[in-house]
Structure 1
Amino acid sequence: MIDTFLGYRRENGTVGVRNHIAIIPSVFCSAKVAQRIAQNVPGAIAFSHPVGCSQVGEDLEITAKTLIGIGRNPNFAGVVVVGLGCERFMPAELAHGIAPTGKMLETVVIQDVGDSIKAIEIGTRYARKMQQKASLERREEVSVSELMIGLNCGGSDTTSGLVANPALGIASDKLVAQGGSSILTELTELLGTEHILARRAVNEQVAQDILRVIGAMEERLKRQTANSSNTKRKHLISTGNYDGGLSSVVEKSLGGMKKSGNAQFVEVFKSGDAPTQKGLLLMDGPGHDGEVTTGEVAAGAQIICFPTGRGTPSGFPGVPVIKITGNPRTFERMQENIDVNAGTVILGQKSLQQVGEEIYREILAVASGKMSKAEVLGHDEQFCITRMP
């Protein structure tokens, strides 16, 4: 029997676990107007960012794909695109990319309507109408095969790789086995594990893709650290990771890969793109928490699962982030920020399998409407568009 959750069925068949209105500026110049519109409408969320102009080539392409992907995410019932009018990433292109979803969609361009005050008035009117219509929508029972989770970790310590990540891997395996999807990424923190991950590929092409993207990331990191005059800048893990008991990036990688469980990888795709397959996926992207989560949400993830040994309160706008820790001391200190205490395994109170099941049940509860602690506290720090190095 396939498990279910209560979600919002969208016109294009996808399912959201939240029902927000997204206000997306096409360029940083219109970010404040987007913020003001969101402030005027309960449940509206502004995605302020510092890009959209003075970018070229792949850098601009990543911005375009990511913002379109955010707008397409099923957690948003409607989108108001806010443009300036002379930017490189034009608001019409952003709206055109979102339109195939069939969701509510409007565009306001500051230079076209006259000034920022008028743009706020018009955008607010659009968002209010959308919110009123969205308020009539009701959750319905749907299969977990409609669910995609993003896997991310930050503030890691020794308990992350020993407990929290493997427990999340158990939950991920259970979701994937029922037709759902799970995204592993943070390639900067998978160095040294590529041969292990490649053995779990569904076919030779996927295996070669895994080896290629992690190898390319290692070469990029070599170039970036080669000429640094500060030896601390060459370290591939943070000082907090060292303080938490991790000795090297390889040790962190061996623990980090455990988030993906034991399922087979079915596809490798780039950050900013959307996968074409369901199942366990590898996203070609960096290790920065914000860039990781943003890429996963742009790919369609409705929930982010985030193990943290040392603890972090951060969240993502409009997408619930479930915090998990394997460190019982961290849970005691940060109970208002941590959703699942996997430290019970360290204390001998529960088995790894039991905590994996606990995480899986928490995913279903959050998918059905339970607010994560990051949501309750209004944390939204993880929205961050990847820039080319």
Structure 2
Amino acid sequence: MTQFADNARSATRALRDLFPETPLQRNDHLSARYGAEIWLKREDLTPVRSYKLRGAFTAMRKVRVAHPDQRQFVCASAGNHAQGVAYACRHFGVRGTIFMPVTTPQQKIDKTRTFGGDAVEIVLTGDYFDQTLAAAQAWCAAQGAHFLAPFDDPDVIEGQASVGVELLEQLGRAPDLVVLPVGGGGLASGVTTYLRAAAPLTDFRFVEPQGGASLRAALEAKRPVALPRVNSFVDGAAVAKLGDLPFAMLDWVAPAKVHLAAEDRICITMLEMLNVEGIVLEPAGALAVDVLPELAEEIRGKTVVCITSGGNFDFERLPEVKERAQRYSGLKKYFILRMPQRPGALREFLMMLGPDDDIARFEYLKKSARNFGSVLIGIETKRAENFPRLMEVMDGAGLKYRDITGDEALAEFLI
């Protein structure tokens, strides 16, 4: 661990050629809420708005030192890793070929091209990331280029460890707890390995998206395993399989220290940080803050550092984030209602709504000459406790309805 710590400090010094340390900010809002000192390590404020630049730069720098003639680098990514590699390529004056899925949003493609400029070529191939990765690795082998893995690489992990080096120097003392988001494991393995050597009394908690719990699965199986299905909403951390090297560095973690964050709950955290603090976080960047309610009792009176890992949020997704947040908090529900096909039936239903209730969606799913028709109706309210009252009124009126808010299949198809 001592050698790793020395290497991490060396990587941190080298990074100063690229960008200054990211801020470590005490957050008064969260500190007051939890009766603790809550600090945010703002990785959303790097030049590419995520910590991924650290690992890409460090790995590229070390390859260039060992092999000065290597001027061609390759990666496969649809997000932050691609942007970090592009930025590093331009800095070092080398060529980068970045493979991205055909389905990558144009905004991410444009940002990668902006960061890399003439130094990078973007290749769009494959509908799914596994196809993109296979194409990138095959092209890399044929061209004799160097492949930059997003997390399963010792030099990348060493670069991500610089987050831990900075936060310890900035805080001036060891924090009681560091909360880390987990995707492929590069950030978590790097930071914890450094801090276990430099601040052995510091404890850790890890947060994964509920639909991409690759660390929890690996710890339980005692080896990295591929998840059968991944929810891609938290795209910066939705990884089907933890990296082999990160797992070897994290196998000491107790499964109880790994928390799972519901994708819809993360949306509430994102909106709160945006509306209250003016901080733009992508879903993965909000993970460490999102878990604080679960840690409330144990962090009271303690010093806690949450790593906000990224802020690459496309505001075209804001309506979806708001929708998910409302549904999770119980402020919005969707029903399939069996509506009588007669004059006045709709007015009677509207009279059942309370003063805080509003119709956000109304659509006939089946209308015929029969006595009843099916209606999809979405209702927003200001307080979650209004819905039990509304359903009680509907029950009393003999209306037949089905709450489909939590039905993932139906919601995906109809909403």
Alignment TM-score > 0.5, same fold: no
TM range (shorter): under 0.3
Query: Which structure would you say has the larger Rg?
Result: 2
TM-score by length of 2: 0.23
Query: Which of 1 and 2 has higher RCO (CA within 8 Å, sep 6+)?
Result: 1
TM-score by length of 1: 0.24
